[in-house]
Structures are given as C-alpha cells and as structure tokens.
Amino acid sequence: MSEAKLFEIFINSLNFDVSEYLVDELTDLQKDIINDATFILKDNIVGEVKSFGGSVKKNEEKFKEFMKQAEAELEDDKYKDIKKKLKEYLKKLSELVIKTCVAIIPVKEMPWVDVVFRTIPRIVYDDKVELLDNSIAYYGEIKCFLGRTTLFGKIKDQDPLFAPFTGNLDLGGYKLDTSKEEPKSHIFPYIGALINSLESVIVKNQLAKYHEEFQRHGDPICDFLMKDDELINSMKKVSTALDSGRISSDIAVSSIVVPLPSDKKSIVIVIDENPENSRYGNCFEATLRLSASCCQVPSQGQQEQSQGAPISTPSTGGVRTPGGQELKTWTAEELANEAQKRLAGQPDLPAWSEEELVKFSEERGSGIPEGMEVWKEDELLELAEKRRRGGLNIPEWEPDQDMAECASCGYSLRPGWTTCPVCDTPVGEVPSKEEKEEPEVNPEEDQKDVSEKEIDDDEDLD
C-alpha cells in the first residue's frame, strides 16, 4: 500500500472534528482574516457579524485525549514506515485549529439572508507534511430550489465548465439531520463534508464525463449558467486546486450548488485557493453572481424534465440532444392547430362511440390484447417435446423411401445396383433361413465340398 493511502487511512481513523474547538473569542490573526473577508461587503451588512475561531484551549482536555489515542494508533505495524511523518501531522493539528475561523454575515439586498465565510486550512501529504492555509470559501442559502446538484470546475488545458451531478455525494459518513431548524449553511461539519466531497473521484469523474461524453451541454441548468458571460468571467477568476498546484490530477472542482428539498432552498459554495488577498474579492463576487444566476434558472418543470436524460432547451424553442443535434418542438397550441388541419383535410374519418367500442371488444371475445401471441394445443405439445429434449428439435429417424434395402444385411442400395456391395447378395433375392444361419467357410473348404458333391451326382447317374 502506498504511503499516501496509509496517510489517508490514518487521518480517517482519527475522525478529527475541528468544529469542536471553535470559540467566539478570536486571536489577532483570526480577527485580521475576518476583517478582510467582511470589508468588501461592509455597506450591505445589517446586524452583528457572528465570528468564531479555532482554539485548542476551549476543549484542552479533549484535545489531549485525542492526541493520546492518535499516538496509540501510530503503534500499529502498518504505519511503521511513515510513523515519523504521521507524528509531524499530529504536531500541525493545533496550528490547523488556530487557522480555522468562520463568520456569519447578515446582509441586505443580496440573494441570501446571510452569507457565511470560512477558512479551509488543510494538512497535505506529498514528499513532506505541509499545512496549506490559503483556501477560503463563501457560501449561503438561496431561496431557489434547483432540481439537481450542479458543479463548477476546471479541466487541464480546457475552459472551465458547469456540470450536473447525479447520485449521492461522498460526505465521509456524515449524516445531515434535516429535522433541525438551524440553517444548513450554519452547520460547520456539514459544509466541511460538502467541501471535502469536491475532492472525491466520483465528483471529478462526472465533471470529466459531462465534458467528454456530452460535449459540455445538455443539462438546462448548466446550459443557462454557461450562457451568462459575466458569471463565467467571475468564476474564471477563482483559483482552483489545479491552479495552486495542490493536487496532481488534471481536474479540480471549486464550486457546488446543492439542493435542499426539505427547505425548498439551495446551498451555493465557492472555494478560492489563491494565496493573494485578491481571493476575498474574487471568491465573494463569484458566490454573489452564481447565487443570483441560480435564482434565474429555467422553471422547476424544465428542471424535472432534465432529470431523466440531459437535454437542453434553447431560447429558440428547439431541443438539443447531448450529441448536439437540434430537434424541433411544438407548443400545445401548435399541436392543436395541426390536429384541426388534419381533421379538415379528412372529413370522412370514421368515429366510434364508447358503446360501439365496448361492443367491438365483446365481439373479440377472448379478452386477449390485440397483437399478443397465442398458441394452439398441438403447438404447446410440440414446445413441451422440445423442452424434454433439452431445447433441441431432433427429428425421429426414418428410412429413405427411394432406396431399397439388402434382404440379407439391410444395407441401403442405390438404384441401378445389381448386388449388395457388402454381402454380394443379388438385388431382389431373398436368402433362405439356412443360408442366413450357415457359418462362413474359407474358399478351400468350400471348393472341397463342391468336388464331393459332383462325385455323388455322378454315382447317382450310374
């Protein structure tokens, strides 16, 4: 097993939840981060900003107990080759907690009641263990229900794109309690699970599949968003894991829109991994534009239609298949007009009342739907015989009527033969019972018997 895989197994076994160490008393570093995150929308803030920062002092005893269990887990033989690096990981956990902060920002004249900001520090394993603290995210709940989870990401050497996601996201075992009245965007572990799911193989594969197999179009929501040039330009400014070089793969997903059926809302999340301070403005602008655009997507009826198979509904009224072929569509009024035209052109078409249709049905008698295959009794017997023979239709053997049989040995004789090629019996001659039973003798004994018979005949003549 690779070292990277062992590292992942170790982290998952710890089940460390940074939200257990969030307090409302911020460090100077956390205050600076929150100020940078809220400065760009200060004119739209209404009410108090609720801020939280990570601190191991909040739950110091629990953190010590966690470290004790982690040290015990390290003693497992499977970690012996990377034990030193795993110890470095544990040392960086306290720093990860300190660099974690979140702010719930109430706003006006925005698509959300409040927008949430958070940092996303990560401990990564490559040649060495590193703590990366550049990633941030803005997210919020919009009062628009999208019928399908929607992704935004980049593929190496390709333009970025929106893509639909089908199936269940990999939330790492997290279960969302939908009965809680608390906004889902305020549940720190849930948002963390959604952000982590963007790193999963299934999410990246669906982005690649939509790009390669569906030629980047076909879903009505994604088609609508891709046509918004201002939105696309804003999303392009966001730095992904591909841009920062954090990952070695060729695909990175930086944004997700998740529908919340129980609340009739959707969560919009945008992540930026740019190390520069411009990431605050770029990430918020992309979140704002994406949230606003999601509130203008096609109607719910069109979204439900797209659940079955990806198709697009351009403004021209046509339907475009995933392969790019445009199909003609008709409105209900156009179909009604076409029906009237056909009826006017064929006024003598027969019509039946309900009573006549019932009578026709009774006359058919059998009650068997039209077109259904029916078998006769002899056909059923034949099918049963075939099954008895293992499904093979093997005919019974019968002698050829055009060929005679040798009366002596039974060999089939072709027309024109005078003697049997097997026993030399003349054709048509019937051997006596004694001849059939007479044992075969060799030629010398047979010649001797003929000579003795001739002498006896001569004596009789005398």
pTM: 0.65
User: Hey, CA dihedral for 14, 19, 22, 27, is it positive or negative?
Assistant: positive
d(CA 293, CA 223): 12
Three-state helix/strand/coil letters over the chain: CCHHHHHHHHHHHHCCCHHHHEECCCCHHHHHHHHHHHHCCHHHECCCCEEEEECCCCCHHHHHHHHHHHHHHHCCHHHHHHHHHHHHHHHHHHHHHHCCEEEEEEECCCCCCEEEEEECCEEEECCCEEEECCCEEEEEEECCCCCCEEEEEEECCCCCEEEEECCCCCCCCCCCCCCCCCCHHHCHHHHHHHHHHCCCHHHHHHHHHHHHCCCCCCCHHHHHHHCCHHHHHHHHHCCCHHHHCCCCCCEEEEEEEEEECCCCEEEEEEEECCCCCHHHHHHHHHHHHHHHHHCCCCCHHHHHHHHHCCCECCCCCCEECCCCCEECCCCHHHHHHHHHHHHHHCCCCCCCCHHHHHHHHHHHCCCCCCCCCCCCHHHHHHHHHHHHCCCCCCCCCCCCCCCEECCCCCCEECCCCCECCCCCCECCCCCCHHHHHCCCCCHHHHHHHHHHHHHHHHHHHC
Cβ neighbours, 10 Å, residue 377: 7
161 within 8 A of 210, measured Cβ to Cβ: yes
Tell me the CA distances in angstroms from 146 to 163, 171, 245, 264, 298, one per residue in order: 13, 20, 32, 9, 9
Tens place of pLDDT for every residue, the chain, 462 residues? Answer: 678 788 888 888 888 899 999 999 999 999 999 999 999 998 899 989 999 999 998 889 989 999 999 988 888 888 888 888 889 999 999 999 999 999 999 999 899 999 999 999 999 887 788 999 999 999 999 999 998 999 999 999 999 999 999 989 999 888 888 888 889 999 999 999 999 999 999 999 999 999 999 999 899 999 999 999 999 999 999 999 999 989 888 999 999 999 999 889 999 999 999 999 999 999 999 999 999 999 999 765 444 444 444 434 444 445 554 444 556 667 777 777 777 666 665 555 566 777 777 777 766 655 566 556 777 788 888 877 777 766 555 656 666 667 778 888 878 887 878 888 888 888 876 666 555 555 555 555 555 554 555 555 555 544
Nearest Cα residue to 399 out of 408, 390, 410, 388: 410
